[in-house]
A = this chain, B = another copy of it.
Amino acid sequence: LPRINFQQQLVALKDKLLAMAALSQQALEFSVEAYLAGDMALCDHVVEIEAAINSAETSVDDLRFILSVIKINSDLERIGDQATNIARRAQSLKDAPRISLPVDIKDMGEKVGVMIRTAIQALLEADAKLAESVLAMDDEIDDMNRAVQTELIEVMQQHSLFSEQALNAILISRNLERAADHATNIAEDVIFWVRGSDVRHKLSLDGVD
């Protein structure tokens, strides 16, 4: 089953609710009419309408989508928090001499930026494969962060004059690693949303559901 995208999912959700509202009202009014007139064909029609209502009802898929949106929202907000932490650390270094450290924060920052962009694109396009690529990138960021910690603890030990700069780089590397975790959470939510129903359909084909 092809998965509809983010925009389509929201529109579908609204259309479903309005269709259900029209059907429920119709079913009720027809049922009374059928009773009053003793109209058996109209009774059958009410039962048909009810089946249509049940199949239009907000499904587990819809709820999974809504839940994902709420969680993604919160992860985006936390990425903003990490960015602010980095900016505050940069501010605290205002008067410290600028030195060159043996770590590539620029590369790490760019990679985390790509992770966020890719996770959002995967959400918009309901692309679980694209979301999976974000998970692979997170492993890389974790490795980079570990390398930064090792390198800079050594710098701090050997060049205590630069310990303020080294400590800030360590903490910024950690902020980036956390921002990457939030991008990963978003990607996981996209996979949960997109793949969840596949799993369910598979179970249903196996006769378990």
Q: Is A160 an interface residue (CB 8 A)?
A: no
Contact yes or no, B120 A36, CB < 8 A: no
Q: In the complex where A25-B113, A66-B66 touch, is A32 in contact with B76 (Cβ < 8 A)?
A: no
Contact yes or no, B31 A84, CB < 8 A: yes
Q: Is A10 an interface residue (CB 8 A)?
A: yes
Main secondary structure of the interface of A (DSSP, over half): helix
Q: In the complex where A77-B57, A81-B50 touch, is A69 in contact with B17 (Cβ < 8 A)?
A: yes
Closest to A26 in B: B83
Closest to A57 in B: B77
B-side contacts of A24, CB under 8 Å: 76-77, 79-80, 83, 116
Interface residues of A (CB under 8 A from B): 6-7, 10-11, 13-14, 16-18, 20-21, 23-25, 27-36, 38-40, 42-44, 46-47, 49-50, 53-54, 57-58, 63, 66, 69-70, 72-74, 76-77, 79-84, 86-91, 93-94, 98, 105-106, 108-110, 112-113, 116-117, 120, 124, 172, 176, 179
A–B Cβ pairs within 8 angstroms, 27 of them: A10-B10, A10-B11, A13-B69, A20-B80, A23-B80, A24-B77, A28-B80, A28-B83, A28-B113, A28-B179, A29-B109, A31-B90, A32-B109, A32-B172, A32-B176, A33-B109, A35-B89, A36-B109, A42-B87, A43-B87, A47-B87, A53-B76, A54-B77, A57-B74, A57-B77, A58-B74, A63-B70
